[in-house]
């Protein structure tokens, strides 16, 4: 589990910069920089629609992260081992417009 901060407020899972999901999926199997990663659990918030689930669920700061970005130094067998993770993309309307800002490439480029 990682402490997850997320500024993607256009996502229906976002509640005060935390995520209401118990776990998220980060994508980026060939990524060698953070812009090639994204949060696959992004779900666009409908306009003028506050999240129905969030009214009944409190987001917890710790979130399990499954991650395909195998070139990241925090990736261990498709799980994120970073103590804290920042997901960004404040104006995202698709998952591809989000990114894991904590990505740390273990390859020497
Ligand atoms: S820090 Fe690395 S392993 Fe963790 S979610 Fe981001 S890209 Fe994946």
For 4-24, give the DSSP string: EEE--TTBTTEETTEE-SSEE
pLDDT at 70 over 80: yes
Distance CA 39, CA 3 (A): 15
* Ligand 1, CB cutoff 6 Å, lining residues: 26, 37, 65, 67, 69, 72, 74-75, 80, 82, 85, 100, 102-103
Contact criterion met (CB below 8 Å) for 2 and 60: no
Q: How confident is the model at residue 3 (pLDDT cuts 50, 70, 90)?
A: very high
pTM of structure = 0.89
Q: How confident is the model at residue 72 (pLDDT cuts 50, 70, 90)?
A: very high
Candidates 24, 69, 101: which one to mutate for ligand 1, based on the most atoms within 8 Å of Cβ? 69
pLDDT at 20 over 60: yes
Distance CA 66, CA 77 (A): 9
* Centroid of ligand 1 to alpha carbon of 7 (angstroms): 16
Residues above pLDDT 70, as percent of the chain: 90
What is the torsion angle, in degrees rounded to the nearest 10, for the CA atoms of residue 97, residue 89, residue 46 and residue 15?
Answer: 140
pLDDT at 54 over 60: no
């Amino acid at each position: 589990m990682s402490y997850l901060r997320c500024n993607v407020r256009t996502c229906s899972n976002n509640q005060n910069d935390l995520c209401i999901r118990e776990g998220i999926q980060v994508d980026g199997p060939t990524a060698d920089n953070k812009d090639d990663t994204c949060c696959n659990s992004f779900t666009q918030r409908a306009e003028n629609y506050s999240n129905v689930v969030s009214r009944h669920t409190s987001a917890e700061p710790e979130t399990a992260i499954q991650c395909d970005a195998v070139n990241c130094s925090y990736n261990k067998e498709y799980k994120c081992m970073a103590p804290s993770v920042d997901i960004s993309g404040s104006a995202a309307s698709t998952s591809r417009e989000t990114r894991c800002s904590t990505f740390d490439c273990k390859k020497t480029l």
